[in-house]
Amino acid sequence: MLGIVNYNEALAKAKESGLDLVEVSSQGDLSVCKIVDFSKFKYKMERKVKEGKKKQKVVQLKEIRLRPRIGVADLEIKIKRIILFLAHGNKVQVSMMFSGREVQHKDLGSAVLNKIKSSVAEYILTFEPKISVLGNRMFMVLTPKKDIQKNI
């Protein structure tokens, strides 16, 4: 701790000790500097960034595609897959695809989506934009709870 020192004096002290003058933060007129070995300083900063990335959890959006006339056993398999995705902390987008005359019976698709919603209700935090319709598809996005892994 040298206190407030002129820039030229600080640079001279750094050269005298064989180290580098590194600016830690600059606020207005005064800058906070350290006399350190720059390569070690840079290495420590890179390590901090890497440690931060290790603790970071990347949430992915997984998609499950369905048809309105899906069988009961197939639907149960899809529900198990949704629960597995939610357990890993990923968001799940459930897409109901209609083709041909199925487009006229969107109530069948919404019934299947509501059945899925009720089946996985204990594992999800929110239904983001409820059920949205876009052309010949219906979408529903499910967000997992924080403590879901304890339940499974």
What's the pLDDT tens digit per position in 37-72? 888 888 998 999 988 888 777 778 999 999 988 999
pLDDT at 119: 86
The rounded distance, in Å, linking the Cα atoms of 33 and 113 is 60
Total structural domains within the chain: 2
Tell me: do 49 and 69 sit in the same domain: no
The partner residues of 26 in beta bridges, in order of sequence, read: 31
pLDDT in tens, 74-110: 999 999 999 898 888 888 899 999 988 888 888 888 8
Tell me: do 87 and 135 sit in the same domain: yes
Q: Are 33 and 24 in contact (CB under 8 A)?
A: yes
Tell me: do 127 and 82 sit in the same domain: yes
pLDDT at 147: 64
CATH of the domain at 105: 3.30.110.10
pLDDT at 76: 93
Give the dihedral sign, CA 80/114/91/64: positive
- pTM for this prediction: 0.59
Q: Is residue 2 assigned to a domain? A: no
Mapping DSSP onto H, E and C, the string for the chain reads CCCCCCHHHHHHHHHHHCCEEEEEEEECCEEEEEEECHHHHHHHHHHHHHHHHHHCCCCCEEEEEECCCCCHHHHHHHHHHHHHHHHCCCEEEEEEECCHHHHHCHHHHHHHHHHHHHHCCCCEEEECCCCEEECCEEEEEEEECCCHHHHC
Q: Where in the sequence is the domain holding 19, given as residue range(s)?
A: 7-53
Tell me: do 35 and 94 sit in the same domain: no
Tell me: do 76 and 24 sit in the same domain: no
Q: Is residue 1 assigned to a domain? A: no
